[in-house]
Structure formats: structure tokens, C-alpha cells
Homo-oligomer: A and B are copies of this chain.
């Protein structure tokens, strides 16, 4: 069964890549990384229920399992290249696998990602993906380069995915825009590449904006002031929940897979992001210190660490 399933997905994913010397079908893939580049490698697992609400479509699970990994490459400023997939399924359900393959392959094609390996197992639904990308040596966007005086930026509109999850959990009706942001997050690959020579530090928003900015603070030895009024909230979010909840979800909700980054306060940053079809908003500044402060008209409204951390599934 193993190769049939995995091969089905491979066929729907990217075409041939010249750097794949040997793809699926042997004990390991043989790959040829480009010279003078570093290989960026990440692994992430989606578990049924914890990361995907019960009603998630199989095609969306396929998409998201790759998206959360490409988001890690985007945050490094890496160009995606290869993926391996480990799929655990309760039974060999052909309909599920075909739909899963469609979603996975649709995103893989967009980024010319070749599926080069994988395995399947019997068990409760779980999907592990390991992705590989390339960065010219020394040019990766890391978490540890933020400097006092940098501006703090976020792409897109954080909070949307968390709003969708919250409504689903309460069995409320969810706007399709928000549901799409939860089920089909768009990894900000082009933005990450555009930021390579501009940003000092970068991370993707998976745990929640404040939590993830905190990771940059710890790695860089800096603090941050975030101005709550500058948070870019989507119309869909504002229509779904009240203003206080919208802020809370934007600051604390996870699963957005946007990028947050620090860079000099310079028009070239926003221009570079816009040039690749992305958008980013300045939401604060890097200061001396060690933690993230959230300010509302100058008043510190930073909640306890606990308050913002969503359940880390």
C-alpha cells in the first residue's frame, strides 16, 4: 500500500526537478542541494482534532499539512524544494487519500515542491511533513537578529484563524473568509524571500502573535512595544466578534501562519513586500528589554503570560 498511496500524491504534486536524482521508490531519496547554499529543514505534524477541527475536509488537511511547513521555510527566507510525508490513517480510505492528495499537491505545485519520500501507517489520523528549502549561505532570516530601534511588522490580518476555530468550537456559524484562513493558510513564501536582505529577525505566527514575538525577544535579547491600535484586523474578524475579542484573538490566537519580523523603519520594507503581492503593517518597535509589552494609548495592557498563550497542541 505504501508506495501506491504516496505515489498517488507525488503524481499530483510538482513535475520533475533536476535536483532530485532519485525520488520515491527506494529506501531513501537522493537529492542534490545547490552549492553555496544552506539547506533549511523543518518538520511539523498535524494531529486530527488538535490541529484540524473534526469537520475539516480531507483536501484542507492535505493543504494545511504542507502549508504549516512551508510557513517555517518562509520565516527563514528559504526557497522551498522538497517534501517528505508520513501519513497515518485509521484505514485505507481511497476517497480520503485522493482528496488529501489533491489539497497537498495543489499547494506543492504552487511552490514547485517535489514529494521525494514518505511512508504510511495504520493508526489514528496524523500527518507529519518534513520540508527542505535553500538559502544563499548566511542570508537566512533568523530569530536572533532583532536590534533596538527596529520597527516590528506583521503580514496579513492576525486573529482570523483563531476566530474561526473559536466559532467552530462553540458551534457558531463561521464566515467563509475566516474558515478559509483556518483551513487553507497561505504560507508567505514570496514575502519571506523579499525580506531576505531587509529584515533583521523573522518568525511565523503559529503560537500567537505575542507569544511568537516573545520568541524573537528571547533569541535576540531585546524587548518590544506593540501598539494595540495598529493591529491590522480584518473586516471579517470585526464582523464575527466584538472589538475586544478581535484584539485578543489577534494578539493571542494561533494558526495564522503570517510572518512577523523586525526591520529598519524604512519605506523600502513595505514596498518590497507589496512588490511580491504581500502586505505588512508596522505594529510597534524593538526596545531595550526582554519581553513584549502591549500598549493601548500608552497604557500597558499586557496580560499575564498565561492569558495569551493558547493551548499548545
A residues whose Cβ falls under 8 Å from a Cβ of B: 1-2, 21-22, 25-33, 35, 38-51, 71-73, 75-76, 78, 82, 84-86, 88, 116-119, 121-124, 126, 128, 130-133, 135, 137, 140, 142-144, 202-204, 219, 312-313
Contact = CB atoms under 8 A, between A and B. Distances in A.
A50 B143 contact: no
A88 B135 contact: no
A41 to B, nearest CB: 5
B119 A27 contact: no
Given A121-B47, A123-B47, A40 B35 contact: no
A54 to B, nearest CB: 13
Contact of A86 (B26, B45, B51, B123): B45
A82 to B, nearest CB: 7
Chain A interface, DSSP helix/strand/loop, else mixed: strand
A48 B123 contact: yes
Contact of A123 (B29, B72, B126, B133): B126
A121 B30 contact: no
Q: Which 8 A-B pairs have the closest CB atoms?
A: A128-B128, A47-B123, A28-B42, A130-B130, A27-B75, A28-B40, A43-B84, A27-B72
B38 A118 contact: no
Nearest to A47: B123
A214 to B, nearest CB: 13
14 contacts: A27-B203, A28-B72, A29-B40, A31-B41, A32-B38, A32-B39, A39-B39, A41-B132, A43-B86, A45-B128, A48-B123, A86-B128, A122-B313, A128-B128
A49 B130 contact: no
B117 A43 contact: yes
A78 B28 contact: yes
Contacts of A313: 121-122
Contacts of A42: 27-29, 84, 117
A118 B43 contact: yes
A26 B118 contact: no
A2 B41 contact: no
